[in-house]
Amino acid sequence: MVRPTTVLVVDGANVVGARPDGWWKDRAGAATRLHEQLLVADVPQEKVVLVLEGGAKAGVRPGRDAHVTTVHAAKVGDDKIVEEARRAVEAGHRVTVCTADRILQGRALHAGAETVSPSWLLDLL
């Protein structure tokens, strides 16, 4: 039996927004910095899915870099996060969604994922 892969789905807007570092002046730059940090971070999950929306999408191209896959939400970021979490759960992976959004946390739990707060992730970056 193959051991399930662990996947961390990151609500990019929510994690970036958890740090009052002027991100709102340069959403693309903030997304780039988060992506770069995720590439070198020592997170317990084997794969990371970074979901970006709006202006942040200009900071990181969609696709895979090492263990980090960046996904651009066409419309609502929360819907894309739930879609990515559900897809990974249905594939048999253990999934954790990183967000402080309570409604999104509930949707992620309903999809079969666990949730963690942005502060948990920021402590690892």
- Examine residue 40 and state whether it is found in any structural domain, yes or no: yes
Q: Which CATH number fits the domain that encloses residue 59?
A: 3.40.50.1010
- Examine residue 29 and state whether it is found in any structural domain, yes or no: yes
Q: Contacts from 50-54 at CB under 8 Å and sequence distance 24+?
A: 50/10, 50/12, 51/9, 51/10, 51/11, 51/12, 51/77, 51/80, 51/81, 51/84, 52/12, 52/13, 52/77, 53/12, 53/13, 53/77, 53/80, 54/13, 54/27
- Examine residue 39 and state whether it is found in any structural domain, yes or no: yes
Structural domain including 105 reads 6-124
- Examine residue 45 and state whether it is found in any structural domain, yes or no: yes
Q: Using one digit for the tens of pLDDT, what is the confidence trace for 14-56?
A: 999 998 888 888 999 999 999 999 999 999 999 999 999 999 9
| Residue of 115, 13, 5 lying closest to 71 (CA atoms) | 13
Q: How many domains does the chain have?
A: 1
- Examine residue 1 and state whether it is found in any structural domain, yes or no: no
- Examine residue 43 and state whether it is found in any structural domain, yes or no: yes
Confidence band, pLDDT 50/70/90 cuts, at residue 3:
low
Other residues' Cβ atoms within 10 Å of the Cβ of residue 1: 3
pLDDT at residue 21, as a whole number: 85
- Examine residue 93 and state whether it is found in any structural domain, yes or no: yes
